[in-house]
Copies of this chain bind each other. A is one copy, B any other.
Amino acid sequence: METPLHWYALSAVVLFLKMFGISLYQGYCRIGRQQFKNPEDAAFVHRAPATEELPQVQRAARAWLNDVENIPIFLALGIAYVQLGLSAAAAPWLFGLFTLARIAHTLCYLAGLQPWRTVAYSVGIGSTLWMSAMILGAVL
């Protein structure tokens, strides 16, 4: 963990595992209640398709949608940060803070905890804005 590339790589792995965790959680809910929206999925367990996903599956989907709105663009900025050779001292803070904030965001979303979900979201956005400012300072 000596270089920004290592921090980038570690946070990409952790964020992937976190999102995969949501997928497992959704599968666990769907299988536990035998409730599937896709007809071919319901047919596989000899059930009628559900008209709606379970509430906790919908909630997990909203948490995941927030992930796909925030994580790929952060990682796209992160690789620019690495390639531009920006501060190695700031890298653990930027990548670490973002990653922890997104884990907290998912947990707060699944548990319905406010204002903590918004706090976690804001820390993630703050890390991304900070990284953006450093990148702009380097390229402009």
Contacts and interface: CB of A to CB of B under 8 A. Distances in A.
A5 B80 contact: yes
Contact of A84 (B9, B19, B74): B9
B40 A114 contact: yes
Given A112-B40, A114-B44, A20 B125 contact: yes
A14 to B, nearest CB: 9
Contact of A72 (B13, B68, B112, B125): B68
A120 interface: no
The quantity of this chain's copies bound in the complex is: 3
Contacts of A23: 69, 125
A89 interface: no
A137 to B, nearest CB: 11
Interface in A72-98: 72-77, 79-80, 82-84
A13 B69 contact: no
Interface in A19-39: 19-20, 23, 38-39
A80 B12 contact: yes
Interface of A: 1, 5-6, 8-10, 12-13, 15-17, 19-20, 23, 38-41, 43-44, 62, 64-65, 67-69, 71-77, 79-80, 82-84, 112-115, 117, 125, 128-129, 132, 135-136, 138-140
